[in-house]
Structure 1
């Protein structure tokens, strides 16, 4: 066991510009860091001095990885993807990098060991992944290729497409997809937690989005929350309670499988469409896009409100409300900081994001968040009317051009790169973990 006053004194490697030599030096440095960490107790059992040493080691290791990637991000990505001939999803890329470049990102075993602890008991290995993905997304060649990889259909969706075509419905677990004529109705059924988002819901929703975009019979997608079993809202529909706080407290909200997969996979497919194959000469359009309608019952909190920023038409029940409380929770609201201001203007977006302003569907400000407000019993009829209006080739053409004007891919990628690291760091901020332990443990959703 290390003494209380031990300090990290391993010489910092200085990259020389040769990939093989610099990778070897990084691996040696990371191995020395791991030996030091292995000599310490697990985080929950450390003394303040031992925790200070662990943080010093982890920070030094991350800084060395950042220096390495500053010189070699493009080369690393080319090696992992065999000269960009392989399209690896984010999780596959992180796992491949762990073995091809030891010490660059945590191994699957190291990540699994972390998941045995609650959020406050982890060392924050996901921050290392944030360093990695920030560098790749910043790279002018690797970044767009990685985004393309995440726009491809998931293997699960490809397998289920025939079932949707045969049955016109697919139950994905937390999401139900039903085709009614040219309209796909995607209903969130994470009912025990007021449709709060967890890793399973993100995966299920991405599969549903893929299927909507792959099925040529479908021309419009609709997203709505299902009827709740939660005692407080039993028998009522709820759109979304945002991130599942119970899962976050338990350490089961991951940077790769939730936060990045959600933004670069599921949500980006809603915004930019599906890349059906990797051919570069797809004509006339690289991606399959379709218009999307959101129907908000009860509330859209956090990630639920973030979703609305992507939709072409938003209908809300007149008793619904919207909020984006990430700053109060201590985290970053996904791409809400990038997107909300263009809907509401800069001052109002700051009041919502930084000040926690909650907007009711009948408030004057709600006209900047949703397009139509009706009594709860008229939401279904309003959805049907909107779907007819959105079922037009001209709508698809214009949504493409609106997307190009509002959120060019370079701007999206630049934001996402910084988000990858900043959000990973925020997940392990003491203000966040203190709030988790004090007020969020066992509560599930906010409402």
Structure 2
């Protein structure tokens, strides 16, 4: 079980020894196999310098490694998660799980050096080690005990959120790099301030948004949360508010979008907290399982991609006249988060397919848009509409009914099953040839 063939840059891809069904033995075999294929990959030139035969060799090695990791986790994911979380006594967020696996179960995930090397390259030149992270997290989420524990872990406050809570309570405002959260009466107004890129989402904004959402949910004075985009710098919209342009495609092309922190962490982190509330360790026996609060989204100009995804989890959507909403998955080539799970519930299957598969835009006030937007008002009346919505949603019974709606509309097992497949598919999509070609062609435009 522990022997591996001699290193050769050519020839057939070595096969992983047959599994024994025993955790330790199978892990030892996997560890040695991954170390061996690491050496084989190291004999090849970097990805952009490979000829066709070398590229095919690398692809075959990666496929074999991922199959080995998948097969090990298909048998041993629950036990692996027990090892990584000390028997589920320690709550580890996504990045910490990767670090623990690198140390405690080497071979199960790419090394820190491999991930760091990929992080230094543009997307098209990366080796694609994040695809193996998709295999890892997909397997953990498929396991009911591991997946549910991980989802609950990511619903707890993010590191640093509680440290900011005192400032928020004292000053009613916290200014983060890309987001501001400010309390006005019973409402916490969360404003995107990534104006240089039309309030597009990048790694920094994802982290800031989770902190802001945590603060709104942790502060007992806040009854309602409000999401809105701030003014932007783009010449076409200069000085105007924009809700969100979705994922920052420039950062995606440049390799600066993290799979763990953004593409998966966003869905399990702040977006899932908007939908399913915040878990805290100090809730009493009679308290709800999570801290729920209603959310309002105020859409100026447009909500594209990830921006529109947020509209699917909030409780009231208000839009300025002329605003539009879209999920350009067909154009970008990646999966729009949990949009595929949530849009059909609001719009029905036919309209959801038009939006997701054909790129149909929904314009505020036009037929179909009312299924994702509650009210359309003149742009100069949007703030007044927000105040009215806050007053209505601050009623005492709203929280309990909202929590029950979330439970009925998106049961945990449905959520976990979707996330398990999303974790794998999204990792594959961001390294797929059509996506890489599309973002490079977009980059080449004047």
TM-score by length of 2: 0.97
Q: Is the 8 A contact 1:246 1:441 kept in 2?
A: no
Q: How far 1:441 moved relative to its partner?
A: 5.4
Partners of 1:85 and 1:335 in 2: CA distance:
29
SS of residue in 1 equivalent to 2:247: coil
- The answer to whether the aligner puts 1:404 opposite 2:404 as a matched pair is no
Q: How far 1:290 moved relative to its partner?
A: 0.4
1:377/1:386 CA distance change after superposition, 3 Å:
same
Please identify, of 57-66 and 95-104, the stretch whose mean Cα deviation from structure 2 is larger: 95-104
- 4+ long deviations beyond 4 Å: none
Partners of 2:245 and 2:48 in 1: CA distance:
30
Partners of 1:343 and 1:7 in 2: CA distance:
53
The C-alpha deviation readout for 1:32-87, integer Å capped at 9, x for no partner, is 11000111111011111101000100110000000100110000000100000000
- Which residue among 309, 313, 316 is the counterpart of 1:313? 316
Q: CA RMSD in A?
A: 1.4
- The answer to whether the aligner puts 1:375 opposite 2:387 as a matched pair is no
Unaligned runs of 5+ in 2: 1-6
Q: Is the 8 A contact 1:328 1:354 kept in 2?
A: no
1:102/1:403 CA distance change after superposition, 3 Å:
same
Q: What number of residue pairs does the alignment pair up?
A: 440
- The answer to whether the aligner puts 1:41 opposite 2:63 as a matched pair is no
Q: Is the 8 A contact 1:249 1:441 kept in 2?
A: no
Q: Is the 8 A contact 2:227 2:298 kept in 1?
A: yes
Partners of 1:442 and 1:176 in 2: CA distance:
33
Q: How far 1:109 moved relative to its partner?
A: 1.7
- The answer to whether the aligner puts 1:343 opposite 2:346 as a matched pair is yes
Q: Is the 8 A contact 2:224 2:393 kept in 1?
A: yes
1:441/1:90 CA distance change after superposition, 3 Å:
farther
Q: How far 1:442 moved relative to its partner?
A: 7.8
Match of 2:216 in 1: 212
Q: Is the 8 A contact 2:304 2:326 kept in 1?
A: yes
Kindly report which structure 2 residues correspond to 1:170-209, keeping only aligned pairs within 5 A, or say none: 170-209=174-213
Partners of 2:443 and 2:420 in 1: CA distance:
29
Kindly report which structure 2 residues correspond to 1:276-295, keeping only aligned pairs within 5 A, or say none: 276-277=280-281, 282-295=285-298
Please identify, of 8-17 and 22-31, the stretch whose mean Cα deviation from structure 2 is larger: 8-17
- The answer to whether the aligner puts 1:300 opposite 2:294 as a matched pair is no
Unaligned runs of 5+ in 1: none
Kindly report which structure 2 residues correspond to 1:347-358, keeping only aligned pairs within 5 A, or say none: 347-358=350-361
The C-alpha deviation readout for 1:114-148, integer Å capped at 9, x for no partner, is 01111111111011000000110010101110011
The C-alpha deviation readout for 1:402-434, integer Å capped at 9, x for no partner, is 111110010000000000000000001100000
Partners of 2:440 and 2:434 in 1: CA distance:
10
Match of 2:335 in 1: 332
Kindly report which structure 2 residues correspond to 1:73-92, keeping only aligned pairs within 5 A, or say none: 73-92=77-96
Q: Is the 8 A contact 1:246 1:442 kept in 2?
A: no
- Which residue among 127, 138, 144 is the counterpart of 1:140? 144
Match of 2:117 in 1: 113
Q: Is the 8 A contact 1:189 1:226 kept in 2?
A: yes
SS of residue in 2 equivalent to 1:155: coil
Match of 1:438 in 2: 441
SS of residue in 1 equivalent to 2:160: helix
